[in-house]
Chain A
Amino acid sequence: MAYRPDFVERYVIDKIVFGILSPTEIRAMSRVTVITPELYAPDGTPIQGGLRDPAFGAIEGGERCPVCGNTRLECPGHFGRIDLARPVVHPGFAPKIASLLQATCRACGRVKIPPERAKYLLAILRRLRDRWPKLADNLVKEIEKEAASRMECPHCGARQYRIRFTRPYYFYEERPEGSVRLTPIEIRERLERIPDEDAELLGVNPKRARPEWMVLTVLPVPPVSVRPSIVLETAQRAEDDLTHALSEIVRINERLKKSLIQNSPESIIEQQWELLQNAVAAYIDNELPNMLQLVHKRRRPLKTLAQRLRGKEGRFRGNLSGKRVNFSARTVISPDPYISINEVGVPYEVAMTLTVPIMVTPENIEFARRLVLNGPNKWPGAVHVYKAREGIKLDLRFRQNLKQVAESLEPGDIVERHLMNGDIVLFNRQPSLHRMSILGHIVRVMPGKTFRLNLLVCPPYNADFDGDEMNLHVPRSPEAIAEARELLLVQKHILTPRYGGPIIGGRQDYVSGAYLLTVKTRVFTKEEASRLLAIAGYRGELPEPAILKPRPLWTGKQLVSLFLPEDFHFKGRAKINAGDLSCDSIECFHDSFVVVRFGKLLEGVLDKKAIGAEEPENILHMLALEYGHEKARDFLDRVFRMFIRMLELRGLSISLGDLEIPEEAKKKIKEVLDKARERVLELIEEYRKGTLEPIPGRSLEESLELKIIEVLSNARDEAGRIAISYLDPFNDVFIMAKTGARGSDVNITQMAASLGQQTVRGRRISRGFRTRTLPHFKPGDLSPEARGFVRGNFRDGLRPTEVFFHAAGGREGLVDTAVKTSQSGYMQRRLINALQDLVVTNDGTVRDAYGNIIQFRYGEDGTDPMLSYHGKPVDIDRAIEYVRSAKQASG
C-alpha cells in the first residue's frame, strides 16, 4: 500500500523459473503450525495455532506483526503450514505422477530404458532444452511412451505392471492377482527411488523439483492477507472461502492424527485419510471431476485456489487481461447528423465528472484561473488543483473560496479541469472485434444525457440506436493524447485494413437520399439548390445552371460535383445497375453507370455502390486513398448532410399502398400457387404409388422433398415476379430496395405476394405432433400447407397455421445467431491470444515477441491492406485512365 520507492531496492526481473516447493522449504518458510480448526476464542481473539494466528501477518490497523514487527502496511504476511498426518496426492500433478509411475521400475525406481540408451537420450534432451524447448517436451513424451511399454526392468529385471490412473487422484496397479490400489505412501516411496538423471529424462528438472514432492506431506497455509475476512453489518466476521477450506482440512487432519495415535481400526483410518485427500484436492481445485465439492452451509461450492485463477472473472481474464478503469463513462448513444464524424457529443454531466490535468503556465494562467473560479459545478470548470510548491491537492468540491484558490495559482500548478470542446477521447462499443471498435473522437459538450454519434460512424462500431450503450475513455498524459490524435482519430480509419476499402460511409437514408439527389429527373430551383448547399456549408458561387429556360434549374449531380476535386475521375456501376437497368457502357441510358470526369459527376446516380459503407472501390474509397483522409472527412461531413436534407425536403415513406396489387394480379398469383400445389400433390401421389423417379444418390423420401421444395420455391419466385410487375417501380419501397438502402426483392415478395416455404434445418417443417405438424391437418399430410408453405403475405395477413410455421422458421434464425456469436467470440479470443504479439518489423518480416520469424514478407507481397485497392496493391485500369485524362487535360 504505502509504496515508498526511496527505501526499496529495485531489481529487474530477468527470468521466472517454476518449480515445486519441497517439504523442507515449506517448513522453513512456515511461521506457525496450524493444529486447530477453531479460529477465535470466545472473547474474539485469534487462537494460537488456528488459521487466524497472529503469526500469519498483521492486517488490522495499529496491529504489530509478532513475526516481523511491522504494521499492516509493511508486513508482507507470513506462511504457516499443516503437517499432514498422512501424505496425499496433489491433484494438479496426478497425471504426471501416473506417467512417472508407469515409466519407472516398481522395484528399483530407474527409468525403464537401458543405461546406454538413457545416457544417449539425456544428452539429446539437454541439447534440445536450450534451443527447442517445445521439441524437448515432445522427446520427453516419446521417452515416457518407450519406458512405459517395457514390462521388465532393464536394470534389475523386475517384472512390471500396468498402472491405471483414475481422475482425480486414484492409482491402481494391474497385478496378475488383480487390481491393487496404490496409497499415497506407496506412491511417494516409488517416486523417491527415481534417481535425478532419470527424473530429468522424464521431464522433471531435478534442480527445481523432485518427483516425490508431488505427493504432499506438509501443506503451506497462505498468510491472512491472501484470505482476508470481512466484517458484516451485524458485526459478525465472515471468513474467506480459502480459510473455510483450510479449516476443513485441519479438522480432518486432527481427527486422523487422533485415530492414528489411538490405533483405530484400519478401515476408519482409511476413510479419514480419503477424506483428507479429498479436502486437500478441493482446496487446490474445487471443480475436479468425480470428487466431493467443499461447500458452504447454503450448499454453495467454495471458491478455492484454482477457482481464483480460472474463468472469465478469474485472475487472468478478470484482473490481468482486463481491468476496471477510471476516467471513463458509459451511456446510451443517439444519432446526430450535424456533428462531424470526428466528434462525439458528451453530456454536460459527463463533461463535469471526467477531468484532464493541465499544467499552469504563464501563457494559460488566466484561462486556468477562470476554470478554477467556475469550480466543479459550472462548466467549463475545474475539480482539483495540485499546488506544486506546497505539494498539496485541493478538492474544489469541498472548498468554498474559489476566488482565493484562483488567485493563488502559479505556473507549475496542475489544474484538473472539466472535459472541454476539442479534447480527444477514446470511444468504444463492445464487442471490440477489430481495431475500429475503439476510435479517437473530439469532444463536443452538449445538453442531454446521451453520447451523440454521427451516423456515418455506425458501421465500424456496428452500432445502432435501439438502446446501444458505448464507453468513453479520457487520455490524460500528453503522450496518450498525442497518440490518440495521431493514430486513433476517426478520419484516419475511414479505410479498414480488413478488406482494403472504406468502412465508414452511408447506410439506409443516406443511400436513398443520395439517389434522390442525383437522379436524372430531379432539378432544383436556385432557392432549393441554395438550401441544399447551405447545409453542406458551401460558400462559393453557384455553377452555371444545367437548364436555363424557362427558368434556371440545377441538377443534383451539379451540386455534388462542387465537392469533388477538379482532377478526380471515377467510373463504376451503380447498385441499381441490375436487372432491367443493367448496362456496362459509359453511354448508359438508365443512368446506372457512374462517371466522374475532372471532378464533375457526369452521369450515373449515387447509391450504395458509390457512397455506401463497406463498399470497396467506391467514390469514397478513391477519395480517401488518393486525396487523403482529411478530404474524405470533409466530403463525409458536407455532402452526406446534403443527402439527408434532400430526403427531408422530398420525404421518404412507405405505406400499404406501395404494396397494393390489383385483383387481376392477385388472381394470377393464386393460379400460380394453385398450380404449384397441384403439382406437389401429384408428386406425393407418384411417391405413394412408387412411380416417383428418385434423384441419383437420394432416397425416395429425400427425392420427393427436394422436388417439392423446388416446385414451391419456383412458385414463390413467380408470384413475387407477378406482384412486382404490377407495382410502381419508382415508389419508395423500390427506391430503397434498388439503391441498396434497405430491403430486397425477397422482402417485397414477402410483403406483396407470398411468404413461401418456411424451413427448419433446411427442410420443410415436419415435426410437432407424432405424424403431423399441427392438429389442423390429417396425420401424414404431406401437402404444402401442412408442411410450412405460407401462401399468405404480410400485407394481407397470415392464417393462424401460417403464423405458427413462420414463427418456427423465425426461431431457428434467432437460435443460429445466438449460437454463432458465442462460437465466433471464443474463436476470436483464441486467435487474438495467438496473434497479439506479432509485428511487422522494419525489414518487412513478421515476427513474434521472441524475434521468431512468422512470415518473411508481410502478406507475402508486403502490401498494407488498408492502403490497397480492395486487397490489390495497384489498380492498373485506374492508373491508365488517369494517364489518359492527364494527356487530354494538357491538350
Chain B
Amino acid sequence: MPKRPGKVSRKILQHELVPEHRLLSLEEAAEVLRRLGVKPWQLPQISVNDPVARLLKAKPGDIIEIRRRSPTAGEAIFYRIVVPQ
C-alpha cells in the first residue's frame, strides 16, 4: 500500500520554488478552523508522503500553513490538511 520512499533531503527547503511550510500547533489549527468556519476535510489537502510534510513530521489530521510569494498579493497564506495516502 502506501509506500514510503527513502529519506528526504532537508535541502529541498532551500529551493526557491518550495514555499515556507509550518506545522500548526493544535491551538493554532483550531483557531484557523474556527476563523474559516470549516471542518478539517473542507481544507485543501496535502499528502503525508509529501516531501515537505515528511520533513515536518506531519501526521494525518495536522494542518500545515504555507506562505508563498504571490504575483497579486505579495505574499499569500494557504492552509492544507495532512491526509493519509
When C-beta atoms are compared, the residue in chain A nearest to B78 turns out to be A856
* Cα distance A847–B39 in the bound complex, in angstroms: 13
Q: Is B84 an interface residue (CB 8 A)?
A: yes
When C-beta atoms are compared, the residue in chain B nearest to A851 turns out to be B42
**Shortest beta-carbon distance from A363 to chain B in Å:** 47
Name the A residues within 8 Å of B37 (CB-CB).
843
Contacting residues of chain A (587-644) with chain B, CB-CB under 8 angstroms: none
Other-chain contact of A853, B43, B72, B76 (Cβ < 8 Å)? B43
Check A852 against B77 for contact (C-beta < 8 Å): no
Q: Is A850 an interface residue (CB 8 A)?
A: yes
Chain B interface: which of A530-538, A810-818, A859-867, A875-883? Answer: A859-867
Check A853 against B38 for contact (C-beta < 8 Å): yes
Q: Is B85 an interface residue (CB 8 A)?
A: yes
Per-residue A-contact encoding for B66-80, CB less than 8 Å = 1, 0 else: 000010110011110
When C-beta atoms are compared, the residue in chain A nearest to B69 turns out to be A860
Contacting residues of chain A (560-575) with chain B, CB-CB under 8 angstroms: none
**Shortest beta-carbon distance from B46 to chain A in Å:** 13
* Cα distance A852–B40 in the bound complex, in angstroms: 9
Other-chain contact of B73, A139, A852, A860 (Cβ < 8 Å)? A860
Name the A residues within 8 Å of B2 (CB-CB).
142
Check B42 against A861 for contact (C-beta < 8 Å): no
Check B85 against A853 for contact (C-beta < 8 Å): no
Q: A135-B85, A860-B70 are in contact. Are A850 and B76 (CB under 8 A)?
A: no
Name the B residues within 8 Å of A860 (CB-CB).
70, 72-73, 76
* Cα distance A854–B84 in the bound complex, in angstroms: 20
* Cα distance A584–B43 in the bound complex, in angstroms: 50
Check A132 against B83 for contact (C-beta < 8 Å): yes
Other-chain contact of A851, B38, B45, B76 (Cβ < 8 Å)? B38
Give the interface SS of chain A, mostly helix, strand, loop or mixed: mixed
* Cα distance A142–B37 in the bound complex, in angstroms: 33
**Shortest beta-carbon distance from B28 to chain A in Å:** 15
* Cα distance A856–B79 in the bound complex, in angstroms: 8
When C-beta atoms are compared, the residue in chain B nearest to A127 turns out to be B84
Q: Is A688 an interface residue (CB 8 A)?
A: no
When C-beta atoms are compared, the residue in chain B nearest to A145 turns out to be B1
Check B78 against A852 for contact (C-beta < 8 Å): no
**Which residue among A852, A860, A861, A862 has the maximum number of chain B CB atoms within 10 Å of its CB?**
A860
Contacting residues of chain A (190-229) with chain B, CB-CB under 8 angstroms: none
Check B73 against A843 for contact (C-beta < 8 Å): no
Per-residue B-contact encoding for A115-152, CB less than 8 Å = 1, 0 else: 00000010010001001100100110011001000000
* Cα distance A853–B83 in the bound complex, in angstroms: 15
Q: Is A772 an interface residue (CB 8 A)?
A: no
Contacting residues of chain B (1-48) with chain A, CB-CB under 8 angstroms: 1-2, 36-38, 41-45
Other-chain contact of A845, B36, B73, B76 (Cβ < 8 Å)? B36
* Cα distance A733–B78 in the bound complex, in angstroms: 54
Other-chain contact of B77, A138, A854, A856, A862 (Cβ < 8 Å)? A856
Check B42 against A850 for contact (C-beta < 8 Å): yes
Q: Is A96 an interface residue (CB 8 A)?
A: no
Name the A residues within 8 Å of B76 (CB-CB).
856-857, 860-861
* Cα distance A859–B73 in the bound complex, in angstroms: 8
When C-beta atoms are compared, the residue in chain A nearest to B32 turns out to be A856
* Cα distance A355–B77 in the bound complex, in angstroms: 53
* Cα distance A446–B12 in the bound complex, in angstroms: 70
Name the B residues within 8 Å of A851 (CB-CB).
38, 42
Name the B residues within 8 Å of A853 (CB-CB).
36, 38, 42-44
Q: A142-B1, A857-B76 are in contact. Are A852 and B42 (CB under 8 A)?
A: yes
* Cα distance A857–B43 in the bound complex, in angstroms: 13
* Cα distance A857–B2 in the bound complex, in angstroms: 33
Check A863 against B85 for contact (C-beta < 8 Å): no
Please name the 5 residue pairs, one residue from A and one from B, whose CB atoms are nearest each other, closest first: A861-B73, A860-B76, A861-B72, A860-B73, A860-B70
- Chain B: residues with CB nearer than 8 A to chain A? 1-2, 36-38, 41-45, 70, 72-73, 76-79, 83-85
Assuming A142-B1, A856-B79, what are 10 further A-B pairs, CB within 8 angstroms?
A: A135-B84, A143-B1, A146-B1, A843-B37, A847-B42, A851-B38, A859-B73, A860-B72, A861-B70, A862-B73
* 11 A-B pairs with C-beta separation under 8 A: A128-B84, A132-B45, A135-B85, A142-B1, A850-B42, A853-B38, A853-B43, A853-B44, A856-B36, A856-B76, A857-B73
